[in-house]
Structure 1
Amino acid sequence: MFTVLTVIIFLITYIVIMTEKIDRALAAGLGGIAMLIVGIYDVNKAFVTYIDWNTIALLFAMMLIVIITSQTGVFEFLAIVMAKMVKGRPIPLLIVITILTAIGSAFLANVTMVLLLVPIILTIVRMIHIPAIPYLISIIIASNIGGTATLIGDPPNIMIGQAVEHLTFNAFLIHLSPIVLLIFFVILGYLIFVYWDKLKANHIDQKKLTSIRARDYLKVTPALPKSVSVLIMTIIGFMLNPLLHIDLTSIALAGALLLLLLTHDEYKPDEVFKQVEWGTLFFFIGLFMLIGGLEEVGIIDELARGLVFYTEGDLPKTSMLILWMTGVLSGFVDNIPFVAAMIPVILEFKDYGMTNLDPLWWSLALGACLGGNGTLLGASSNLVVAGLAAKEKEDIKFIEFLKVGFPIVIISLGISSVYIYFRYLIHFTV
């Protein structure tokens, strides 16, 4: 009885999240509360066992650091400087904005990066009279690829890193950044090919571009060096995690609190807290409660057994299945709930004789993050860009994005398959 109720609650909630009939944070929260009301588990178990407070706290801390840093205008300054460097020429502008998005998404989280960049690129393209859609779609694609490279770049990676202790910030850099770099430049070439005709013919208003002064966007106050320094120190702290033996959440929280303390004269904590993406945090809380229900009634165990049975416990087969299944499905459903459901499934594989699970974790991370480029529903950053663009009357059509994004997913997964096979799996097939 409880199993049936859990599945019904999970599916209804998931459908509501996908269709966006109501806010996804509210939908996930209602689904989680429904698990409590019908008695799947009690509130103590939800808060102590199933909600991953480390992930919530890490996201919260990084939001605070980026919110304060963004107030200084440093991100707008960098974007405009890059635009002026290429003299506003459409194709070079596409290249530099895509590179900036990818790098920023790796170290600031992709949702945060697109929130900062989209208003800037919309201002630039309107001033020099070139179409916005190619840039908006390229920002989405680059944010998901760049976010794949680090533990903090994309929410699925944060969830995986918190679930598996030895997958540190440096581990993600070492194992994922090489393939992400290759995929990024291949896809950048593909985007240039797709949008070449559309952008090459556009006339550039050089006078308007010249009139934009990047320095005007920079707020040269004591908060500028303080926020940039704390951001850099926090990222260095992540990299030194194996030497410091301090978990990432503690490093991020220390950085956030230090920055709040150093800048409280200019940016009151109450005002900073108002800008936190509370909806995202509560979405995660509801999501963890939903997945907790599946764990509680044994559905996760059954999924693990089914995968092991299908692949006969063969590590290469299991790894490739997870990569492609996650990649394709993440294009049509938000990758965050999918990864939340897959993490306990992979953890269960230890009980079936699989001792080396790392290839499975890298397959899950690559599939979830890169698969998010498949459709507008594939990742949080996609929805954020689409929402910001719609407010400015620059609607990104679902089909238009699908035509560009889905081939990119296939290319990305193909390259990832070769990488995973030759780096992790070849020894298991000879």
Structure 2
Amino acid sequence: MDIILASLIFIVSYIFIMTERVNRAVVALTGGTLLLATGIYSPQRAFMDYIDWNTIALLFSMMVLISITEKTGLFSYIAIRFAQRVKGRPMPLLMGVSILTALGSALLDNVTTVLIFVPILLKITKLLKLPPFPYLLAIIFSSNIGGTATLIGDPPNIMIGQAVDHLTFLSFILHAAPIALIIFLLFLFMLYFIFRSQLAKSKINNEELHKIDAKMYLKKSPLLYKSVSVLLLTISGFMLHTALHTDLTIVALSGAVLLLFLTEKELPTEHVFQKVEWVTLFFFIGLFSLVGGLQEVGVIDEMARAIVLLTEGEYVKTTMLILWVSGLFSGVVDNIPFVAAMIPVVKEFESYGIMHLDPMWWALSLGACLGGNATLLGASANVVVAGMAEAENEKISFIRFMLYGFPLVFVSLIVATIYIYFRYLLPFM
């Protein structure tokens, strides 16, 4: 009975989120509250086991850092200079944003990257009177593809790296980065093909653009130096967190608290908190609660075990099924809980006499990270971008996003299938 009830609450909530008739945070929180009220899980289980407070704290910290830095005019300055550098041409701007986002997501993590880039992008599109949707779409897709390339780029990779000792930062560079680069190049081609006609119609007044003095937007004050210094220090902490043996959330929280302390007299904390995307944060809390209900009743665990039963433990079939199931499932539900359920299942294959598990780990990583592009709920970065865009009255439709996302994921999984088969499975066979 609990399985039916939890599944029903999740499905109904998901339908409401898709139709966008009610605010998605309200829907997700309502679903989580119903799971508590019906006794699917206890408040302690919900708050201690299922809501990922590390992700919530990381998002909150970066929102604080970005909101303070934005007050200095730095993002407006960067936006204008970048637009002037590409002479305001829509397509080079689209490609440039995609490349920078992918690089940032690989070197930092995709959530942090979109928190930095989206405010800049929205300022550029507003300045040039360009449609923001293609650029927001490019940022989301690029962040997830770029995050696939490294250990710290996407939460599923971090989880796999923590579970498997020999899969180091260098391992992801050698094994995940090449296929991420191939898929990213294909994505750029698809992006150009899809939006070239739409963006070609946009008329840019290049003379007016170059008349703008970007320096006028930059407020050279102690607030600027403090915010930039702490932001760079935090980003450096992200890049060095493995060497420092420090969690990403601790780095982000430390940076946010330090900057709040240093800028309290110039920018009161209550003003900073007003700029935090609370709707996005509460949506995450509700989403984690909904998925937690599926975990509590064993739906996700049963899906993982079904992979083993369906393939009867056959090596090639199991590896490919892990890739496609993780890719398609991660497009519907946040990939973090699915990867958490799959890690012990993959480890269990050793008891069946399969000692070479690396292809399965790479299949799980690629499927979970690339599958996040399918819908707005597929990855944390997607939800963050949607929330920030909605705050600027640039709402991203769930259905419209999905029409672009699913074809990209399908192509990505086909390419990943070929890559895994020829690089890992064929030599092993």
Q: TM-score, normalised by structure 2?
A: 0.81
CA contact (8 A) 1:113 1:143 kept: no
Is structure 2 residue 156 aligned with structure 1 residue 121? Answer: no
Residue 375 of structure 1, CA deviation: 5.5
Matched residues in 1 for 2:27 and 2:252: separation? 28
Q: Which residue of 1 aligns with 2:230?
A: 230
Matched residues in 2 for 1:399 and 1:15: separation? 11
Q: Which residue of 1 aligns with 2:138?
A: 138
Q: Which residue of 1 aligns with 2:347?
A: 350
Q: What are the within-5 Å matches in structure 2 for residues 145-156 of structure 1?
A: 145-149=145-149
Residue 227 of structure 1, CA deviation: 2.2
Q: Which residue of 2 aligns with 1:46?
A: 46
Q: Which residue of 1 aligns with 2:182?
A: 182
Task: Note the residue ranges of structure 2 that are not aligned, 5 or more in a row.
Answer: none
Q: Which residue of 2 aligns with 1:31?
A: 31
Matched residues in 2 for 1:191 and 1:409: separation? 14
CA contact (8 A) 1:374 1:405 kept: yes
Matched residues in 2 for 1:131 and 1:17: separation? 24
Query: How has the CA–CA distance of structure 1 residues 297 and 387 changed in structure 2, closer, same or farther, with 3 Å as cutoff?
Result: closer
CA contact (8 A) 2:46 2:289 kept: yes
Q: Which residue of 2 aligns with 1:239?
A: 239
Residue 351 of structure 1, CA deviation: 4.2
Query: How has the CA–CA distance of structure 1 residues 417 and 214 changed in structure 2, closer, same or farther, with 3 Å as cutoff?
Result: farther
Q: Deviations over 1:88-140 (max 9, x none)?
A: 234323322332333445536254246313422322432xxx66655454344
SS across alignment from 2:145: helix
Calculate percent identity across the aligned residue pairs: 52
CA contact (8 A) 2:72 2:220 kept: yes
SS across alignment from 1:99: helix
SS across alignment from 2:337: helix
Q: Deviations over 1:150-207 (max 9, x none)?
A: 566556667x479858678777666544433332233223323444455457654221
CA contact (8 A) 2:144 2:381 kept: yes
Matched residues in 1 for 2:282 and 2:393: separation? 29
Residue 328 of structure 1, CA deviation: 4.0
Query: How has the CA–CA distance of structure 1 residues 199 and 2 changed in structure 2, closer, same or farther, with 3 Å as cutoff?
Result: closer
CA contact (8 A) 1:287 1:340 kept: no
The one-letter code of the counterpart of 2:119 is L
CA contact (8 A) 1:121 1:135 kept: no
Matched residues in 2 for 1:165 and 1:4: separation? 34
The worse-fitting range, judged by mean Cα deviation, of 277-286 and 140-149 is 140-149
CA contact (8 A) 2:326 2:338 kept: no
Q: TM-score, normalised by structure 1?
A: 0.80
Is structure 2 residue 14 aligned with structure 1 residue 14? Answer: yes
The one-letter code of the counterpart of 2:242 is P
Q: How big is the alpha-carbon RMSD for the aligned residues of Structure 1 and Structure 2?
A: 3.7
Residue 249 of structure 1, CA deviation: 1.9
Residue 349 of structure 1, CA deviation: 4.0
Residue 85 of structure 1, CA deviation: 1.5
CA contact (8 A) 1:76 1:120 kept: yes
The one-letter code of the counterpart of 1:218 is L
Residue 309 of structure 1, CA deviation: 0.7
Q: Which residue of 2 aligns with 1:312?
A: 312
Query: How has the CA–CA distance of structure 1 residues 52 and 358 changed in structure 2, closer, same or farther, with 3 Å as cutoff?
Result: farther
Q: What are the within-5 Å matches in structure 2 for residues 269-418 of structure 1?
A: 269-314=269-314, 316-328=316-328, 330=330, 333=332, 335-336=333-334, 339-351=336-348, 353=351, 359-360=359-360, 362-374=362-374, 405-418=405-418
The worse-fitting range, judged by mean Cα deviation, of 311-320 and 203-212 is 311-320
Query: How has the CA–CA distance of structure 1 residues 289 and 194 changed in structure 2, closer, same or farther, with 3 Å as cutoff?
Result: closer
The one-letter code of the counterpart of 1:411 is V
The one-letter code of the counterpart of 2:337 is A
CA contact (8 A) 2:55 2:249 kept: yes
Q: Deviations over 1:197-242 (max 9, x none)?
A: 5545765422111122222232222222322222222232233333
Matched residues in 2 for 1:53 and 1:356: separation? 34
Task: Note the residue ranges of structure 1 that are not aligned, 5 or more in a row.
Answer: none
Residue 368 of structure 1, CA deviation: 4.1
The one-letter code of the counterpart of 2:83 is A
CA contact (8 A) 1:86 1:93 kept: yes
Q: Which residue of 2 aligns with 1:64?
A: 64
CA contact (8 A) 2:151 2:161 kept: no
